[in-house]
Amino acid sequence: MEDVTSSTMRVAELAELVAQGGVAVLSGAGLSTESGIPDYRGPTGLARKAEPMTYQRFVGSAEARRRYWARSHVGWRQIGLARPNDGHRAVAELERRGLLAGIVTQNVDGLHQAAGARRVIELHGGLDRVVCLSCRERTPRAELERRFLEANPDWAASGRINPDGDAVLTDEQVAGFRVVDCTGCGGLLKPDVVFFGENVPKPRVDECFSMVGGARAMLVLGSSLAVRSGLRFVTRAAALGLPIAIVNQGPTGGDGDAALTLDAPLGRTLTDLTTRLTAE
């Protein structure tokens, strides 16, 4: 992490870049850790060895679906109660001031919107929605949680929360959980998020590229850019000659293309940014 003097100087540089407007924001899990949601590769994720669910396992195995939904049902208690932190509120304030071209988030927690941001593209979907894999009807996660409680009145479990919003449970805890299906057609229900092994829908990707193409600069917040899903937008911004700034705790895959990098806590840094912009 950078020392205070260096960080202050870089926040001043960041303010100069953002003050000109037209900034496309790309956010990752590191922005939500201060809301109590762990990440994969940052400081809260280093000690975790979570094995994410793949689409192929989910659709191919009733037992895999039971395990996923039992773990997700427990994890939702924390994810569903999470609240925006100073970083989310600062991004929403930047949007309110007309400085952003838009926000692309790799997160599935909905905290940008909860903080008041409006133009948000959820690259990987959102955990607050459920989709039927047969009829494609989308329903609120709250409705599914109510049905889980009705179907499992005597079931209770707890465990450490993983980055995907599920909890670590034992086989014995999972065994007694009852899964429910679509009320409309009886099809399999899946969270409206992109699992590993799935592709982000092309229209959504195109919308993100369009946002970057219309931007004047790019600001990456809390993403290690370790996978192509997010890195491709930074690569496009670099190809277009846009100035790129990255705020993250730890190195990222986009540092080589960045004009400015800050290794610092997101909430404090973004709050300092909005304060500096107000004073200017």
Query: Which residues define the annotated binding site for Zn(2+)?
Result: 132, 135, 182, 185
CA dihedral 267, 270, 276, 280 (to 10 degrees): -150
State the catalytic residues: 124
Residue 207 burial by Cβ neighbours in a 10 Å radius (0-12, 13-18, 19+):
middle
